[in-house]
């Protein structure tokens, strides 16, 4: 998606450790026009899918997922990273590793909100090593929910997450795929469509 790639080139900041900061428009301060355009693009890309639920993981994916859910006209569920008193009842859980926070955590979804009648579009801001997505895939499988696809804003194509999900037969639609980044110059090189 050229609009997203242009915004990454303009406002994305390449940092050491394969980090791309896009917090000025995607996952801290949010450009709602951009998120709406992204949601519209996924609605077109997944027009043949029978999505009836959007699933993401807390926290950075929530804003994007809400725009996607609104575009598809379906509910949004997010896997919580911590237990709270509101989480009564039976839960699906998966252990995920966060590269950003360098920690492992269980993510949880109530069995009330995900089940065998659901046809799910998984949504997140980044796909790098794929740990968060693997956790969501695991939760969908526990629920016997069908995965219609994986919608990713930015995929780091030089890390294994996207390849591993595609090898499982999952349909992955990344709006911007980065082939490499140069921390010295700040240049970002995208995979051509």
pLDDT tens string 24-56: 999 999 999 999 999 999 999 999 999 999 999
C-alpha pair distances (Å), 13 with each of 20, 47, 83, 184: 6, 33, 33, 11
pLDDT at 126 over 80: yes
Residue 166 Rama label (left phi>0; alpha psi -120 to 50; beta): alpha
Nearest to 128 by CA among 86, 98, 90, 156: 156
pLDDT for the residue 87: 60
pLDDT band at 86 (very low <50, low <70, confident <90, very high): low
Q: What is the DSSP letter of 46?
A: T
Scanning 26-88, the segments in alpha helix (DSSP H) are: 32-45, 61-72
Q: Average pLDDT of 165-178?
A: 98
pLDDT for the residue 84: 60
Give me the CATH number covering residue 159: 3.40.50.2020
Nearest to 78 by CA among 91, 65, 67: 65
pTM, two decimals, is 0.94
pLDDT for the residue 105: 86
CB 29 within 8 A of CB 35: no
For 8-21, the pLDDT digits (tens) are 999 999 999 889 99
Question: Can the peptide bond before residue 174 be classed as cis, meaning omega within 30 degrees of 0?
Answer: no
Structural domain including 45 reads: 2-190
Write the CB contacts of 17 (distance below 8 Å, at least 6 apart in sequence).
Answer: none
Instruction: Please give the tally of structural domains in the chain.
Output: 1
CB 149 within 8 A of CB 137: no
């Amino acid at each position: 998606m050229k609009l997203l790639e242009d915004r990454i080139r303009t406002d994305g900041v390449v940092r050491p450790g394969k980090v791309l900061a896009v917090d000025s428009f995607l996952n801290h301060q949010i450009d709602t026009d951009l998120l709406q355009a992204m949601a519209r693009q996924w609605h077109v890309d997944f027009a043949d899918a029978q999505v009836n639920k959007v699933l993401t993981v807390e926290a950075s994916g929530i804003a994007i997922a809400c725009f996607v859910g609104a575009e598809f006209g379906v509910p949004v569920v997010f896997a919580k990273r911590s237990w709270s008193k509101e989480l009564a009842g039976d839960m699906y859980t998966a252990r995920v590793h966060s590269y950003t926070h360098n920690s492992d955590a269980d993510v949880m979804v109530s069995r009330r909100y995900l089940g065998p009648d659901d046809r799910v579009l998984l949504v997140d801001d980044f796909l790098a090593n794929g740990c968060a997505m693997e956790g969501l895939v695991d939760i969908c499988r526990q629920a016997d929910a069908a995965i219609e696809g994986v919608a990713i804003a930015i995929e780091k194509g030089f890390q294994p997450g996207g390849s591993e999900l595609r090898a499982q037969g999952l349909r992955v639609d990344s709006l911007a795929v980065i082939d490499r980044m140069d921390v010295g110059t700040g240049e970002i090189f995208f995979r051509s469509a």
